Structure 1
């Protein structure tokens, strides 16, 4: 799963720093509240606190979403979920826990803490199930752990989001969607996979579906684009689309999106009188500074230097002719 959605280096390590958005700080522990803009989408928040005196927190749980807690640093905590004591004392980094909707929880943090909370709606879990097993699930999916999880894949995926959150902000939605979807799919697979199951072939992405994705990206290049948006334009679920797209194009969705934004920027730099800020905004970058950083990393020159070199080359060509 992580190979399809994120990609690994040849040495097996996750490729970090690939375009993750600003992960919003969670205002109230395990209470996404106003952070949830669309109840059908996954939401990732970060609960990070410096603690000098014991901090008591409690939550009744979101009414419709599972909560996956990914502990990013060692801390000391007393943690109960659904009235069951799960932690008394030290909690290591890399430990995860899943709770179902409306699961009450409370904690007392005695040391500073840093936790990612991934909120997964029912629709995403059902989508993952159908993609994994080739059939709809009858009824709701409920995943709740009465113990802590130590899963190296979930740990790596969580660290990928936390480490990468300050780079390539415009591509953050696609990257975070991909990571979150990989975690959701892994949890569904662990919950429902039979002891022996033949892997399902990914198949191929028909040319007409790929064309629709390309047209959608080009038409919305200046807007925030998520993995769900690209998958919907192809008429596929997010997980199925992510695997098929990479197989067909050789690129992960967020890599393709970045390439198209850079290509559009190059076209505007040489074919329009737009200033650099206008080019940046037109191509979906959050600021001129961010645009300059990304452009230089991929092209080797700043946008201004690249534009001037193309202008001088064109001028010399006209003089020579």
Structure 2
């Protein structure tokens, strides 16, 4: 009998999942234009996938409501699995993979461009190349939480804040590098944080560009620092992740505009860089404890 052809799956293509799964994803970040990372949320019937080879690094995250028996073949190795909620499978780019499961199941597929991971490696360790190793289903709370955070961000507004998505992608890359790579080389740590000059430049740049959909790459490029080092060093210097700091700055500016101007709330929302008024209201309530409209009434009394 002829050997079955291995399907090459490119998650940079919109219909990538239809090559190996019977149903389309319930939600996908494909149209959100996240840089180098994609999330697909699936609910699939009992099924056996054809053998396939992803062109990106892939992390599967189980969201099953009850344990499911499954069988997985990964680079020729077969393993029978009892999949639990939160179990994670790591499938490196160009690996050969197929799987089957007995009941309807729910899961996330997180695909990561090789170039994005390579940049993290280059910026973090003294190696020319580091490869991700394949891992059968196992518990990994951090990868699970990254997946769920991306899913929540996708479902909230459909787009997500660039700086938040990139922060999660950076954390994902460094976690894969530390726990799933072929090398045990330690990640470079800079305990001193950013220099006072770089920190001041970062804060000034953020405040001067709050109306934009700021991303980590944009801020770090302005400082002449790698995105991966900037994210880690900024938090060491301020106690806040770049995403948290940007959100705080946006809300502080919004408070001033609400108190000192008569501009409409939707106009203020745009001026401080939120993509939708609902997202602005949710973040404002979370940080201040009340809505923008109620806050304006309080300070105008």
Q: Summarize the alignment of residues 248-259 of structure 1 with structure 2, pairs less than 5 Å apart.
A: 248-259=237-248
Name the counterpart of 1:80: 73
Q: Deviations over 1:58-114 (max 9, x none)?
A: 474443x21122223343433333444334x53122322222223343333432323
Note if contact 1:61-1:101 (Cα within 8 Å) is conserved in structure 2: yes
Matched residue count: 279
Counterpart check, 1:154 vs 2:143? yes
The structural deviation recorded for 1:248 is: 1.6
Residue number in structure 1 paired with 2:297 = 308
Give the direction of change, closer, same or farther, for the CA distance of 1:171–1:147 in structure 2 (3 Å limit): closer
Q: CA RMSD in A?
A: 3.6
Structure 1: distance between partners of 2:191 and 2:147: 25
Deviation at 1:263, TM superposition (A): 1.6
What is the CA–CA distance in structure 1 between the aligned matches of 2:275 and 2:168, rounded to whole Å? 22
Which one of 179, 198, 205 corresponds to residue 209 of structure 1? 198
**Residue matched to 1:126:** 118
- 2:267 matched to 1:274? no
Task: Write out per-residue CA displacement over residues 18-38 of structure 1, whole angstroms, 9 at most, x where no aligned residue.
Answer: xxxxxx998547899992887
TM-score, normalization: structure 2?
Answer: 0.75
Would you say 1:49 and 2:40 are equivalent positions? Answer: no
CA contact (8 A) 1:42 1:118 kept: no
Q: Which piece of structure 1 moves more, 157-166 or 30-39?
A: 30-39
Report matched runs for 1:1-321 at 5 Å: 28=18, 35=30, 41-51=35-45, 54-58=46-50, 60-63=52-55, 65-73=56-64, 74-87=67-80, 90-133=82-125, 135=126, 137-138=127-128, 140-145=129-134, 147-162=136-151, 172-190=161-179, 191=181, 192-194=183-185, 200-312=189-301
In terms of mean alpha carbon deviation, does 122-131 or 178-187 score higher? Answer: 122-131
Show structure 2 runs of 5+ residues with no match.
1-13
- Inter-partner Cα distance in structure 2 for 1:56 and 1:212: 53
| Secondary structure in 2 matching 1:225 | coil
Give the C-alpha shift of residue 259 in structure 1.
0.8
Larger RCO (CA within 8 A; separation ≥ 6): 1
